[in-house]
Amino acid sequence: MKKKLPDELELARDLLDKQVVDRDETKMGRVDGLVLELREGKPPRVDHLEMGSAVLARCIHPRVESWVDALRRRIGVQKTGRYRVPWAAVQEIVPYQVKLDVKAAETPAFAWEHWLRDHVIAHIPRGLKGKAN
Amino acid sequence: MKTVHLELLLGRVVRDPEGKKAGRIFAVRAEPDGEDCVVTEYLLGTAAMMSRLGISAKRLLGWPIRRKPLSIPWDLLDLRDPKKPRLLCSLAELKGKKG
């Protein structure tokens, strides 16, 4: 698939906090961070985008990040507090969203939804789920 | 591999080798380069912040402000310590180059 990227990007404005969708347009969160790789004698390149609670917490304070990480480990739903998306997976950037060449269900972005499905929804009696039969 | 988190870089004060304050980083411009996306310049100052927010002074206040953000080419900013970004030339030289 050919990438659809603007000729010029203003990284903070065009990427940070933008809605992220997968290749089927399923919403999977927002861009919480962006990592640049510094290279000797070459311009810095965007290495990957980051999503997740720990990334947001880091913006407040590194200590808050470690608290969020500790809480996540204790709850045990998500394996990681950060989902890293390599730049190569970015397919399209438009003013309202960033489209990735990934399948949302196969990423850690839906860890909480999967946990709820397996541990809560699955235990609701059939009649209460709203099914006709 | 040395990396920098963009969200932690924004708002950092840039100083030149003499310690003179050049401004705060409010925007980073980049362009696609093959499979990569590479940084071309860093924008400093209020005008850069307005640009990041996507508003113009003209629209906000009703009159045009002609001031442009101070732009630093990628090769003139030392980011080895992202908490203290440093210009690799003096502020006067940078403004001279732009002017």
Domain spans in chain B, listed from the N-terminal domain onward: 8-88
* Residue range B8-88 in CATH 2.30.30.240: yes
What is the tens place of the pLDDT at every residue in A70-87? 887 787 766 777 788 999
Encoded amino acid at A117, one letter:
R
DSSP assignment of B30-94 equals EEEETTEEEEEEEEESHHHHHHHHT--HHHHHSS---PPPEEEEGGGEE-SSTTS-EESS-HHHH
Task: Work out the pLDDT band at B51, boundaries 50, 70, 90.
Answer: low
Tell me the two tokens of residue B71: 């732009």
Average pLDDT over chain B, rounded to whole?
Answer: 84
Of A19-23, A73-77, B72-76, least confident by mean pLDDT is: A73-77
Contacts of A36 in chain B (CB under 8 A): 3-6, 9, 39
Say whether B99 sits in a helix, a strand or coil: coil
Q: Is the pLDDT of residue A129 over 70?
A: no
The CA-to-CA distance between both ends of chain B, in Å, stands at 36
Asked if A27 and A20 touch (Cβ cutoff 8 Å), the reply is yes
CA angle B52, B13, A40 (to 5 degrees): 90
ipTM of the complex: 0.82
Model pTM above 0.90: no
Kindly state the average pLDDT of the residues B91-96. 84
**Cross-chain residue pair B10–A12, CB shorter than 8 Å:** yes
Between B6 and B65, residue with greater pLDDT: B6
Task: Work out the pLDDT band at B31, boundaries 50, 70, 90.
Answer: very high
Of B31, B43, B51, the CB nearest to A9: B31
What's the pLDDT score for residue B74? 93
What's the pLDDT score for residue B1? 79
Say whether A96 sits in a helix, a strand or coil: coil
Which CATH number does the domain A13-126 belong to among 2.30.30.790, 3.40.50.300, 2.30.30.240, 2.60.200.20? 2.30.30.240
Q: How many CB atoms lie within 10 A of CB B96?
A: 10
Q: Is A32 on the interface with B (CB under 8 A)?
A: yes
Q: Is the pLDDT of residue A39 over 80?
A: yes
